[in-house]
């Protein structure tokens, strides 16, 4: 009696084969005699109806089809929109745009076209709204987004952590004095009537000029405060501080660190860059959208205005102790003057 189930399964399997052969013979005859659509078309239209039944039948016979189904899914899976795996969270005027454009060279990186501002302005719209603004990616590719204002948004670390506690974060930092001047230069290009840098950066207190820590271009250069906020939520190994000066002076070396951090193969190398002496900035020999050499745009590499040496000295004195705090917190000495 113990052989009955085995014999029954064999009988059913034989019956299944016979029925399949009869169906195949019928389909071929249907195509040849009646001049209907091709065999390939007929089979394609009918196979989906019998696929689930075939899997159930195979399972009944004791065959494991889970691996086969997973392999087929992985092989045929198309591009989908996913929530980001990594974020460029800042810092404004430190080279975030350059970092993103350099990363676009990598075939396993796809990034949102523009700054989404989800975690600072549009969080109330929900994760599905955010997902819809992400690029299409294949399995194994990294989805990225860049919004520099996340760095200083107090609620951003908590919100990012709620979405993905394993998020990889990248922040580009540079000499805060140079960053402040670059910030001012961008604003002045849009507002020609803007007061001189020295007048905005320094305030007269008791007849003595002192740095105004409330002025946004100065305040953004105090990196320790936002970093401490992000480290309350994320482990230090989840946040990479990219050296903005090195990104300009030796982009290939700095991008090697970035690729390692993201778990990517080192595809972006020296062959992708050339230095534009007129702009004082590295440009791309090719990019995701173009195979010809090009730079990041007219707004990148602007000439900074001449700043009074006294103002520069005051700013350096102001930032020096704050930079030391940042070095200790980050574990990196950037060597800013």
Q: What is the DSSP string of 246-284?
A: HHHH-HHHHHHHHHHHHT------GGGEEEETTTTEEEE
Domain ranges of the chain: 80-330
| 302 has binding-site annotation | yes
Residue 34 has pLDDT above 50, yes or no: no
- Structure pTM? 0.75
Give the pLDDT confidence of 199-223 residue by residue, as tens digits. Answer: 999 987 655 789 999 999 999 999 9
Is 154:63 a contact under the CB 8 Å cutoff? no
User: In the chain, which ranges are E strands?
Assistant: 80-81, 86-90, 109-111, 136-137, 142-146, 168-173, 202-205, 208-211, 239-243, 273-276, 281-284
| 207 has binding-site annotation | no
Cα–Cα distances in Å, from 308 out to 196, 314, 334?
A: 10, 10, 24
Give the pLDDT confidence of 219-260 residue by residue, as tens digits. Answer: 999 999 999 999 999 999 999 999 999 999 999 999 999 999
Residue 21 has pLDDT above 50, yes or no: yes
Give the pLDDT confidence of 175-196 residue by residue, as tens digits. Answer: 999 999 999 999 999 999 999 9
| 300 has binding-site annotation | yes
* Rounded-to-integer distance, Cα 36 and Cα 114, Å: 51
* Rounded-to-integer distance, Cα 6 and Cα 2, Å: 8
| 31 has binding-site annotation | no
Q: What is the number of residues in the chain?
A: 337
Is 271 a catalytic site residue? no
Q: Which range in 19-28, 46-55, 103-112 is most confidently predicted, on average pLDDT?
A: 103-112
Give the pLDDT confidence of 271-288 residue by residue, as tens digits. Answer: 999 988 877 788 998 666
**Superfamily designation of domain 80-330:** P-loop containing nucleotide triphosphate hydrolases (3.40.50.300)
Q: What is the mean pLDDT of residues 46-60?
A: 48
Q: What is the mean pLDDT of the chain?
A: 84
The one catalytic residue in 49, 51, 93, 257 is 93
| 41 has binding-site annotation | no
| 97 has binding-site annotation | yes
Let me know how many helices (H) and strands (E) the chain has, helices first. 13, 11
| 243 has binding-site annotation | no
* Rounded-to-integer distance, Cα 220 and Cα 218, Å: 6
| 106 has binding-site annotation | no
| 238 has binding-site annotation | no
């Amino acid at each position: 009696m113990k052989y009955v189930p085995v014999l029954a399964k064999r009988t059913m399997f034989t019956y299944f084969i016979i029925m399949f052969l009869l169906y195949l013979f019928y389909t071929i005859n249907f195509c040849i005699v009646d001049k209907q659509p091709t065999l390939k078309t007929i089979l394609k239209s009918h196979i989906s109806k019998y696929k689930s039944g075939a899997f159930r039948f195979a399972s009944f016979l004791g065959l494991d089809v889970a691996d086969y189904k997973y392999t087929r899914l992985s092989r045929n899976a198309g591009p989908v929109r996913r929530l980001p795996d990594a974020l460029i969270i800042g810092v404004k005027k430190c080279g975030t745009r350059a970092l993103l454009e350099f990363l676009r060279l990598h075939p396993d990186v796809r990034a949102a076209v523009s700054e989404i501002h989800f975690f600072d302005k549009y969080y109330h719209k929900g994760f599905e709204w955010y997902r819809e603004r992400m690029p299409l990616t294949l399995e194994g590719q990294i989805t990225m987004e860049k919004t520099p204002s996340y760095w200083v948004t107090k609620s951003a670390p908590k919100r990012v952590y709620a979405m993905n506690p394993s998020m990889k974060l990248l922040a580009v930092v540079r000499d805060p004095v140079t960053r402040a001047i670059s910030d001012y230069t961008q604003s002045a290009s849009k507002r020609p009537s803007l007061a001189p840098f020295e007048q905005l950066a320094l305030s007269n207190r008791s007849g003595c000029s002192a740095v105004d820590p409330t002025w946004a271009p100065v305040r953004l250069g105090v990196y320790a405060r936002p970093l401490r906020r992000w480290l309350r939520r994320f482990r230090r190994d989840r946040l990479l501080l990219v050296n903005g000066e090195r990104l300009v002076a030796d982009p290939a070396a700095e991008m090697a660190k970035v690729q390692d951090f993201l778990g990517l193969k080192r595809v972006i190398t020296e062959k992708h860059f050339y230095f534009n002496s007129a702009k004082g900035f590295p440009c791309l020999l090719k990019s995701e959208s173009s195979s010809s050499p090009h730079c990041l745009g007219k707004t990148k590499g602007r000439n900074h205005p001449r700043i009074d040496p006294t103002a520069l000295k005051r700013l350096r004195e102001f930032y020096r102790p704050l930079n030391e705090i940042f070095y200790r917190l980050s574990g990196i000495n950037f060597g800013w003057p």
